[in-house]
Amino acid sequence: MALALGALVGQGMVFDTTNKYPFLGYAEISFNVDTKEIEIPKGNWNNQNAYHALIGGFGGTIGWHYSDANLVAALTGGSTTASEGISVAKEEAGTIPGSGEYKVTLTHSSDCIDDSIGHGSVYTGSGAAKSYFQVVTAAPSASGQVQVVDGVLTFHSSDGDKEVKTTYLYTNTSGTKVTIGPTDTPSSWAGYLVIERFLETNTLGRMTVYAKDIVWTGALKLGATRAGHDAITRDFRVNNDAAGDLVIYFD
């Protein structure tokens, strides 16, 4: 009896045994396989059997939810630096003085990323009366303008006494920075790809693929949304050149 594997899609997990990193969390894995005929182990899904086969054109897409810095680095061949993160301050409230210097100092002014403040970042009013300030590089010369320097907002005198809200980014020491590899393609790695799907008998079937030569092939997508969760997805391919490069386990 022979099996021709086509497209398999299911939930699963990935274990990178080369870099010692398990990609935990909910995952959706798809396999697109172009293969020679290979023997099905006796009992099919019911027995713990394994067989070796040369499979060409083996690849697909893997998506992870709740991704973190280490996962992004592993997927891109990058590196991580601890204590260098970025946080967001959303609609931080402030009041423009009615006289003197018309300045508002942000709570995280010393760590503020000035370039993150643009059109739509600073506004006054609400509902139909909401109006946004235009960010300018020089001192404001008219109402509705704001200058941003080192986390300090400077407004025009005609905007004195107005309540404003500002959304901006600032650096922190609790997060992690990921520096992406220059080619965005890590070296090949070995690992296990576990896929689970329901069989015709309405029971859960599990297939684990072990491959010695897995590479990421681009199509990295950050912030992809699936099932209402932020996710990261990337295409992969198995470059198996010799017998034994690929082992498939049925459970």
* Domain boundaries of the chain, sorted by first residue: 2-80+179-250, 85-172
Nearest CA among 120, 177, 122 for reference residue 153: 122
Chain-centroid distance of CA 128 in Å reads 35
Q: Is 69 helix (H, G, I), strand (E, B) or coil?
A: helix
Taking 50 as the pLDDT cut, the residues of the chain under it are 1-6, 35-40, 42-54
Residue 8's pLDDT is what?
A: 62
Residue 109's pLDDT is what?
A: 98
- The span from the CA of 194 to the CA of 12, in Å, is 5
CB 166 within 8 A of CB 106: yes
Residue-wise burial string across 107-116, b where 16 or more C-beta atoms lie within 10 A, e elsewhere? ebbeebebee
Residue 51's pLDDT is what?
A: 40
Task: Report DSSP state, residue 45.
Answer: G
The pTM assigned to this predicted structure is 0.63
Residue 61's pLDDT is what?
A: 78
CATH number of 2-80+179-250: 2.30.110
Q: Give the pLDDT confidence of 81-95 residue by residue, as tens digits.
A: 999 999 999 999 999
Residue 9's pLDDT is what?
A: 64
Would you report the helix, strand and coil content of the chain in percent, each value rounded to 5?
Answer: 10, 55, 35
Q: Identity (one letter) of the amino acid at 226?
A: R
In the β-sheet with 131-132, what is the strand arrangement from edge to edge? 85-95, 163-172, 122-124, 131-132
